[in-house]
Chains A and B, each alone.
Chain A
Amino acid sequence: MSAQIFPRNANAIFLASLFGLVMLIVGTIAAMVGFYLSPWYTDVGVAKAQPVPFSHKHHVSELKIDCRYCHATVEKAAHAGFPATETCMSCHSQVWTTSPLLEVVRTSYQTGEPVVWNRIYDLPDFVYFNHSIHIAKGIGCSSCHGRIDQQQLAAKAQPLYMGWCLGCHRAPEDHIRPREEVFNMEWDVNSLSLAERQQLVKEYQIPTDGRLTNCFVCHR
Chain B
Amino acid sequence: MKYSIRQSILARVVRLAWLPLCLVLVACHVDMYDQPKYKPNDVSNFFPDGRAMQPPPANTVPLNSYNPNSPLMTGRVEGQLADQLPPEIKLDAALLAHGQSRYNAFCAPCHGLVGDGQGVIAYRGPMTVPSLHQDRLRTVPIGYFFDVITNGIGRMYSYAARIPPEDRWAIAAYIRALQLSQNTDVALLSEAELERVKAGR
Q: Do chains A and B touch in the complex (CB under 8 A)?
A: yes
CB atoms of A95 and B157 under 8 A apart: no
CB atoms of B49 and A125 under 8 A apart: no
CB atoms of A86 and B157 under 8 A apart: yes
Instruction: Name the residue on A nearest B36 (C-beta).
Output: A125
Partner of A66, one of B51, B104, B127, B156: B104
Partner of B106, one of A69, A81, A116: A69
CB atoms of B105 and A68 under 8 A apart: yes
Docked CA distance A69–B121 (Å): 13
CB distance from A131 to the nearest CB of B (A): 11
CB atoms of A114 and B49 under 8 A apart: yes
Partner of A65, one of B32, B34, B37, B109: B109
CB atoms of A87 and B124 under 8 A apart: no
CB atoms of A125 and B124 under 8 A apart: no
CB atoms of A94 and B50 under 8 A apart: no
Chain A 110-146, CB within 8 Å of chain B: the 1/0 string?
A: 0011101101000011100000000000000000000
CB atoms of A126 and B35 under 8 A apart: yes
Chain A 87-104, CB within 8 Å of chain B: the 1/0 string?
A: 101110111000000000
CB atoms of A124 and B50 under 8 A apart: no
CB atoms of B104 and A94 under 8 A apart: no
Instruction: Name the residue on A nearest B109 (C-beta).
Output: A65
Docked CA distance A183–B162 (Å): 17
CB atoms of A63 and B121 under 8 A apart: yes
Partner of A69, one of B34, B50, B109, B156: B109
Chain A 35-48, CB within 8 Å of chain B: the 1/0 string?
A: 00000000000000
CB distance from A46 to the nearest CB of B (A): 19
| Any B CB within 8 A of the CB of A211 | no
Docked CA distance A163–B6 (Å): 51
CB distance from A150 to the nearest CB of B (A): 18
| Any B CB within 8 A of the CB of A202 | no
Docked CA distance A115–B33 (Å): 24
Chain A residues with CB under 8 Å of B162's CB are 69, 72, 87
Docked CA distance A93–B156 (Å): 10
Docked CA distance A171–B11 (Å): 53
CB atoms of A94 and B155 under 8 A apart: yes
CB atoms of B43 and A116 under 8 A apart: yes
| Any B CB within 8 A of the CB of A204 | no
Partner of A114, one of B37, B51, B108, B121: B51
Docked CA distance A114–B106 (Å): 22
Docked CA distance A68–B107 (Å): 11
Chain B residues with CB under 8 Å of A125's CB are 32-35, 37, 39
Residues on A facing B (Cβ under 8 Å): 63-66, 68-69, 72, 77-79, 81-82, 84, 86-87, 89-91, 93-95, 112-114, 116-117, 119, 124-126, 183
Listed by A's residue number, 10 A-B pairs whose Cβ atoms lie within 8 Å are A65-B121, A69-B162, A79-B39, A79-B41, A81-B40, A86-B161, A90-B159, A113-B49, A116-B43, A125-B35
